[in-house]
Structure 1
């Protein structure tokens, strides 16, 4: 499976401009511990995500501590309880700016929508739907963890 596909989709799980969507039952929850910012809803179409098709991601949340320029988003992706991929991206340049907004993210409430292609590779499985456990962590440049969410996400491989 294309690791970039997982990274891109998980980034948008964390923060993604403003098309209302129905929230899927992806078991979204805040990670254990204390984090000042909160994801209040997340949804995407289609669900399950169909590899090889466009995915529209929508996320809303509350910001108590500003997300600064240079913040990172780290994704840890598990399949069958084994870490399969860990990847870090610049949050502002990858999520906020393409969504038509700017950093720092200081507004108390945010609402982002991002479209991304769920790319496939020749090594992807065929005719199966798989569940992945994902953990996404947003960290400011000073090392302060701002947001952490976990959820299960289904991917359909046609």
Structure 2
């Protein structure tokens, strides 16, 4: 369960309705209209290697403020069924560790590091993922989805 927590944290940073430059597995905007734009979304290593430290870099433009209490919601699917869903407080996870405070208006640029706990299985797995940023009033500000790959050495 801890492994899924870190995996979700790592791959579901910001959501967007615009093109996102990423390395490796490409995520794309969800169907629909969302007010905030993600201009950069990268993670290293790619694929994520269980047992190593991972880094996420996300940057974009918040035309609608990302408020204190906004959620970073991660949903992982396996065979089109919800496999795991978890929400994190966005400001606690990304904003404060980068020396900023919420609300976030305009351009933003955050990088976080976190350990990905080890669970050796000696396999590589691919899953579908959807990440959303949701303000406390329920307004979905950003959404991105696609495939992610995890390597278990």
Q: TM-score, normalised to structure 1's length?
A: 0.85
User: What secondary structure does 1:112 align onto?
Assistant: strand
Task: Name which of 130, 137, 146 aligns with 2:132.
Answer: 137
Displacement of 1:49: 0.6
Structure 1: which 4+ aligned runs deviate by more than 4 Å?
A: none
The residue that corresponds to 1:109 in the other structure is 107
Kindly indicate whether the alpha-carbon contact (under 8 Å) linking 1:54 and 1:118 is maintained by their aligned counterparts in 2.
yes
The residue that corresponds to 1:30 in the other structure is 29
CA RMSD of aligned residues (A): 1.7
Displacement of 1:14: 1.8
Kindly indicate whether the alpha-carbon contact (under 8 Å) linking 2:9 and 2:74 is maintained by their aligned counterparts in 1.
no
Displacement of 1:151: 2.0
Q: What 5-or-longer segments of structure 2 have no aligned partner?
A: 16-20
> Residues 9-51 of structure 1: CA distance to partner in whole angstroms, max 9, x if unpaired?
134x327xxxxxx831322111111100011221111111100
The residue that corresponds to 2:41 in the other structure is 42
User: What secondary structure does 1:65 align onto?
Assistant: strand
The residue that corresponds to 2:79 in the other structure is 80
> Residues 86-117 of structure 1: CA distance to partner in whole angstroms, max 9, x if unpaired?
111111112211122211111x2211111111
Kindly indicate whether the alpha-carbon contact (under 8 Å) linking 2:24 and 2:46 is maintained by their aligned counterparts in 1.
no
The number of residues matched between the two structures is 147
The residue that corresponds to 1:120 in the other structure is 118
The residue that corresponds to 1:18 in the other structure is none
Q: TM-score, normalised to structure 2's length?
A: 0.88
Q: What 5-or-longer segments of structure 1 have no aligned partner?
A: 16-21
The residue that corresponds to 1:151 in the other structure is 146
Kindly indicate whether the alpha-carbon contact (under 8 Å) linking 2:6 and 2:114 is maintained by their aligned counterparts in 1.
no
